[in-house]
Amino acid sequence: MPETQKPMKRHELRLEARERLTAAGIRRVDFFSDELITAQTDLGQLNIKGEALHIESLSADTGDMLVKGKVAAVSYTESSPALSFFGRLFK
């Protein structure tokens, strides 16, 4: 039986003066600290690195996220199948 996939959301990033990042199409945030935010999108895992980062707003309904702080790097890694709790713990 074929798996049903969720429809892809639009995905956009906008970085203003390396201090304000708006993102659309965020499915979930996996990790956040003042130096790193990782979020899942339809196009892979989004990694935001910087200093004094904080998520100003996040909408689960629309997938919109606003991050403020000093952004040093933005990168993607390919999505992999979700791991169980122990899979992530012993990764």
Would you state the pLDDT for residue 52?
97
**Predicted structure pTM score:** 0.77
Would you state the pLDDT for residue 82?
57
Query: What is the rounded CA–CA span in Å between residue 80 and residue 59?
Result: 24
Would you state the pLDDT for residue 1?
45
Instruction: CATH number for 18-76: choose from 2.60.40.2000, 2.40.160.60, 3.20.20.120, 1.10.287.3510.
Output: 2.60.40.2000
Closest CA to 43 of 5, 82, 10: 10
The pLDDT of residue 81 is above 80: no
Query: What is the rounded CA–CA span in Å between residue 43 and residue 24?
Result: 12
- 31: tokens are 């990790």
All structural domains of the chain with their residue ranges: 18-76
Computed over every residue of the chain, the mean pLDDT equals 86
Cβ-contact 46, 30 below 8 angstroms: no
pLDDT, one tens digit per residue, over 24-63 is 999 999 999 999 999 999 889 999 999 999 999 999 899 9
